[in-house]
């Protein structure tokens, strides 16, 4: 079972590596890292660079496609060459999946036309503009398309995929091997329960990372 992971400049590293770590552990899985240019691809911070091993032309029939999110996804929404590859590959996949704003790329490729899907909470409006029907949910499965919410949700998604492709025992064994028994030390990962002050801080984290050091130690407003 070939699982293709798409890389592009300014991807979010955990969007990719969470699902990679789960799926590559499954028996019989061949993971392949794909990008338009073979070679190192920088993450949002451009400190972490992961090597793409193959070009899209070399990966034409993966069984599973996983598209991670990242700030760079916005730069590719009119990249017909890449979007056509996603659309073509999707025709033959068993499962097509996205994490976070990877859903924007699936939508731009036409994979999510009128389909319910999830994405990072910051990108829901953009997802709707691209023709999908954003719904709340950490992992949303419609037909053979699976979308995950922001970043860490890709791990949950990949375990769900593992159960679908390899059976529940294999998914459970993988969860045990990566000790996926999360105990978040802060319970703040869900937008629906986040106070307004926290949402404002979170937005600044991404938008102005260089100028927010000053507030780092201040308490939450509410």
Task: Out of 36, 120, 124, 126, point to the residue binding a copy of itself (CB under 8 A).
Answer: 120
Task: Out of 4, 14, 68, 140, point to the residue binding a copy of itself (CB under 8 A).
Answer: 14
Locate 38 and state its tokens.
Answer: 């073979």
Task: Out of 78, 81, 91, 181, point to the residue binding a copy of itself (CB under 8 A).
Answer: 181
Smallest distance from a copy of itself to CB 95, Å: 14
Locate 2 and state its tokens.
Answer: 């070939």
44-63: which residues touch a copy of itself (CB under 8 A)? Answer: 45, 47-51, 53
**Residue (61 or 195) nearer to a copy of itself, CB:** 195
Binding pattern for the stretch 62-81 against a copy of itself, x by CB under 8 A and - elsewhere: --------------------
**Residue (21 or 109) nearer to a copy of itself, CB:** 21
Locate 181 and state its tokens.
Answer: 């028994």
Cβ–Cβ < 8 Å for 154, 102: no
Measured CA to CA, the distance from residue 107 to residue 77 in angstroms comes to: 9
- Would you count residue 116 as binding a copy of itself (CB under 8 A)? no
**Residue (50 or 130) nearer to a copy of itself, CB:** 50
Residue 32 bears catalytic tag? no
Of 83, 100, 146, 157, catalytic:
100
Locate 97 and state its tokens.
Answer: 């999946």
- Would you count residue 196 as binding a copy of itself (CB under 8 A)? no
The CA-to-CA distance between both ends of the chain, in Å, stands at 48
Judging by beta carbons within 10 Å of its beta carbon (0-12, 13-18, 19+), is residue 65 exposed, middle or buried?
Answer: buried
Task: Out of 87, 121, 133, 135, point to the residue binding a copy of itself (CB under 8 A).
Answer: 121
Smallest distance from a copy of itself to CB 81, Å: 24
Place of tokens 């106070």: 195
Locate 206 and state its tokens.
Answer: 């991404």
Cβ contacts of 14 within 8 Å, gap of 6 or more: 151, 152, 154
């Amino acid at each position: 079972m070939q699982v293709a992971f798409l890389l592009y400049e300014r991807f979010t590293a955990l969007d990719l590596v969470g699902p990679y770590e789960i799926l590559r552990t499954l028996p019989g899985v061949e993971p392949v890292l794909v990008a338009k240019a073979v070679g190192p691809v920088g993450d949002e911070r451009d400190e972490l660079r992961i090597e793409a091993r193959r070009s899209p032309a070399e990966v034409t029939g993966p069984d599973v496609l996983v598209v991670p999110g990242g700030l760079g996804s916005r730069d590719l929404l009119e990249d017909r060459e890449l979007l056509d590859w996603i659309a073509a590959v999707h025709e033959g996949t068993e499962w097509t999946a996205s994490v976070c704003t990877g859903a924007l790329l699936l939508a731009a490729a036409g994979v999510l036309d009128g389909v319910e899907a999830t994405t990072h909470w910051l990108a829901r409006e953009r997802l709707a503009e691209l023709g999908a029907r954003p719904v709340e949910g950490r992992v949303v499965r419609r037909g053979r398309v699976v979308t995950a919410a922001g970043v860490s949700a890709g791990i949950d998604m990949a375990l769900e995929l593992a159960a679908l492709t390899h059976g529940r025992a294999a998914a459970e064994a993988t969860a045990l091997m990566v000790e996926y028994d999360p105990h978040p030390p802060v319970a703040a990962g869900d937008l629906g329960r986040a106070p307004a002050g926290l949402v404002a801080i979170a937005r600044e984290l991404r938008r102005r990372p260089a100028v927010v050091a000053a507030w780092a130690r201040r308490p939450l407003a509410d």
